Structure 1
């Protein structure tokens, strides 16, 4: 597996094949999931900031938690 080191929201959308609203509802705003990914994720702190994720860690998380994430 090779992937970019840092992902933005568009990268996460492309890698997961999910929409921004789905990612926000099922990952970012889901407290349990956010606790699991916050160590390799960055939430915007101001208007000029954006979401960032450590690509290899997020990719592995998506692989390991596919069924759980898709079952909602």
Structure 2
């Protein structure tokens, strides 16, 4: 997956990706392993959702792959 999060507001905002929104059920025993495209860092494995705070007018871009948990 390629994932983009955008904060169009003038204040910091908490952004979240709920995995069931992209068809990934927690009952499947799968999650996402995510990589930050800007910092070139692996940020971890997540089972139900990913949450981050973005500064005003900031964005974040990730790649993610489905992994067995």
Please indicate, yes or no, whether the TM-score normalized by the shorter chain is above 0.5.
no
| TM-score normalised over the length of structure 2 | 0.29
Structure whose alpha-carbon radius of gyration is higher: 2
User: Greater strand percent: which structure?
Assistant: 2
TM-score, normalising length: structure 1:
0.29
Flag the structure with more relative contact order, 1 or 2, with Cα contacts below 8 A and sequence separation at least 6: 2
- Structure that is richer in helix per residue: 1
